[in-house]
Structure 1
Amino acid sequence: MTTGLATRPGGAPRTAQRRRTVSARRGALHRKEARGAWTLLAPYLVLLMIAGIIPIIYAIVVSLQKTPTNLEPNLTGFSGGQAFVTAFTDYRFLGTFANVFSVLIIWLPLMLVGIVGLALLVHASPGRFGNTMRFIYYIPGSLAGVANLMLWVYLLNPSQSPIGGLWHALGFETIKAVVATPGTLPPILTAMLFFQGVGTWILIVNGGLNGIPDEIFEAASIDGANAWYLAWHVKLPLIRPWIGYAALMNLAYGFQLFLEPYLLDQVAGGALPDQYTPTQLGFWFAFSNSNFPAAAAMSLVVLVITLGIGLFIVFRSGLFGEEEK
């Protein structure tokens, strides 16, 4: 007895051949994409080696060397980690990290709330108004480095500042009193860092919002979502990697805080501690105490702490997670 499902002669071999052909094409496409990815990645890997991996290896090597002294200027060799002991037992070591955390604990949450809130407002205001506000927010970010410091020197000087009445009301008559009074420096550094960087990060996060397909917003609106629900339950979860990226980069910048307290100390006549942050303490080890191994040890300590907190942010925010299909 025969059935109506008779197999065409040679059908199975042809099917297997087609599968092998498709598999070969997919493999070739995968290899082509991999070559393209490595080609695009190569310049970054070179930069990472020059500016990242090699300096880290060099810092590790230097931190394990003996420190030359006045009595033994040519002292060399393996120290057994004595540089780390020198850094950890320095009386300013814990204080420098406490100072940085006193700034980060105010600045980082304020920065993230400001970035996300203002980026959502700009995205919800398309057209000329949104473009104008985006430009206005970016203006403080263009005043980086010394230009930003000069602006703040003007604002912090009670005799010249447009908010001089506030400083006089608080009992401050000179810029030295404003900067050097205990408890005022963390808020001042927070304000400087916030206004310097918030505009740039608003543009970055707003770019992430612009990358969300309009169909998602249209579907949410059809389902009855208002502006608040759309921002909180639709936009915010979709830009979580962008928020994680902003937190990661600002955290790294905060731990490298050096220029702002250093220059404020200059305008305040040396009233601030010379080693206010870990990077300043490492600078002191290297160029005031000529202890380069201890300076390298300080840099590695900052690196380990920053990497630890950074990895936590990466995994919690899904920054490098795969996109859902």
Structure 2
Amino acid sequence: MTTTLVKEEKRTAPPPRAARRRAPHRVEARGALILLSPYILLFLVAAAIPIGYAFWISLQKAPTLVNPQSGFGGLDSFVTVISDYRFVDTFINIFTVMIVWLPLMIIGIVGLALLVHASPGRFGGAMRFIYYVPGALAGIANFVLWVYLLNPSQSPIAFLWQGAGLDNLKEVVTTENLPSILTAMLFFQGVGTWIVIVNGGLNGISDEIFEAAALDGANAWHMAWRVKLPLIRPWIGYAALMNLAYGFQLFLEPYLLRQISAGSVDAEWAPTQLGYAFAFTNRNFPAAAAMSIILLVITLAIGIVIVFRSGLFGEKEERR
């Protein structure tokens, strides 16, 4: 009789805890895979395959008039790009913009987002809308607006240009002034959109956290510096990462500014313009592909530092 009861208890015993945990995890993993499948397909078509193809092209030998046959060239294209006299200058130019624009952008985004979040009601909503308006302009519309502002003969701030001794557009838009002009253009165009995004992150913080901080005696400054700012650090990292990627892709703005200034700006001012020159001026597509790979590696390296420093993709510890 005792043996029978023991066998029945073994049969009706619940499954081990590890097995009970494994089943929901499999369901979650299957659901996540289904949701990710469209993005994985898009990533393969729009990113992974083009990157692989660019790397393969960069390893080929550029055809010439003497030797029109192409073939495996090893790292010759990378050597051609790095040894080009314009290579270092283009990165100095882009880093000159990034060093000023990116910190200014992040400080402006965070500061204004905190002010908007601390101003609930109609005033905060109105300011959020006003900040967003410049970002709602299309790229070419924003550029036309800046052409109007930079032209001393038509600009409402013409007194500034005339006070600096600049009488026409060609004198304003020069290679020396281009970093300052691009910094102002990029800040004006992008800050409003990111204020809205970071403000969304602030709105996602639980009111209980603010109530607890207020009970502990935190004033408005402490609330912003010690409570809100640490909690939106991933959002700040995301903003820095995306603006970093956009900064290294600068092409349209310096290209068009060169057109309207009748050549006052260097033709290969940015790294992307140098890659364009390799491809369509020198007809050296392997060198252009090598330039794109170099840009990718630099952007990824800086982006990885931002991701780990900001905790952008960090996992939250589960509390039981």
TM tier, smaller? over 0.9
Q: Which residue of 2 aligns with 1:30?
A: 25
Structure 1 residue corresponding to 2:114, chosen from 106, 110, 120: 120
Are 2:250 and 1:286 equivalent residues in the alignment? no
For the residue of structure 1 that corresponds to 2:126, the secondary structure is: helix
**Separation in 2, partners of 1:57, 1:48:** 12
Does the aligned pair in 2 maintain the 1:241–1:317 contact within 8 Å? yes
Q: Which residue of 2 aligns with 1:4?
A: none
Are 2:144 and 1:150 equivalent residues in the alignment? yes
Structure 2 residue corresponding to 1:50, chosen from 45, 50, 53: 45
Does the aligned pair in 2 maintain the 1:240–1:318 contact within 8 Å? yes
**Separation in 2, partners of 1:126, 1:188:** 34
Write the mapping of 1:298-317 to structure 2, written as runs, cut at 5 A.
298-317=291-310
Does the aligned pair in 2 maintain the 1:144–1:196 contact within 8 Å? no
Q: CA deviation at 1:19?
A: 4.4
**Separation in 1, partners of 2:8, 2:210:** 48
Q: Which residue of 2 aligns with 1:6?
A: none
Q: Which residue of 2 aligns with 1:210?
A: 203
Q: Alignment length, in residue pairs?
A: 314
| Alignment-mate amino acid for residue 64 of structure 2 | T
Detail structure 1 runs of 4+ shifted over 3 Å in the superposition: 9-16, 22-25
**Separation in 2, partners of 1:14, 1:188:** 78
Identical-residue share of aligned pairs (%): 67
Q: CA deviation at 1:157?
A: 0.4
Q: CA deviation at 1:88?
A: 0.6
Change (3 A) 1:16 1:285: farther
Are 2:77 and 1:83 equivalent residues in the alignment? yes
Are 2:99 and 1:105 equivalent residues in the alignment? yes
Structure 2 residue corresponding to 1:17, chosen from 13, 20, 38: 13
TM-score (norm 1): 0.93
Q: Which residue of 1 aligns with 2:228?
A: 235
**Separation in 1, partners of 2:112, 2:59:** 47
Does the aligned pair in 2 maintain the 1:159–1:173 contact within 8 Å? yes
Does the aligned pair in 2 maintain the 1:112–1:247 contact within 8 Å? yes
Does the aligned pair in 2 maintain the 1:66–1:77 contact within 8 Å? yes
**Separation in 2, partners of 1:10, 1:134:** 70
| Alignment-mate amino acid for residue 47 of structure 1 | L
Change (3 A) 1:19 1:68: same
For the residue of structure 2 that corresponds to 1:17, the secondary structure is: coil
For the residue of structure 1 that corresponds to 2:61, the secondary structure is: coil
| Alignment-mate amino acid for residue 46 of structure 2 | A
Q: Which residue of 1 aligns with 2:172?
A: 178
Q: CA deviation at 1:31?
A: 1.1
Question: Over aligned residues, Cα RMSD in angstroms?
Answer: 1.7
For the residue of structure 2 that corresponds to 1:18, the secondary structure is: coil
Q: CA deviation at 1:24?
A: 3.8
Q: CA deviation at 1:314?
A: 0.5
**Separation in 2, partners of 1:17, 1:100:** 67
Structure 1 residue corresponding to 2:67, chosen from 72, 94, 98: 72
| Alignment-mate amino acid for residue 226 of structure 2 | H
Which whole-Å deviations, capped at 9, do the CAs of 1:124-177 have from their partners, x for residues lacking one?
A: 111111111111111100113111100000000001000001110011101110
**Separation in 2, partners of 1:10, 1:138:** 71
Does the aligned pair in 2 maintain the 1:157–1:174 contact within 8 Å? yes
| Alignment-mate amino acid for residue 200 of structure 2 | G
| Alignment-mate amino acid for residue 66 of structure 2 | L
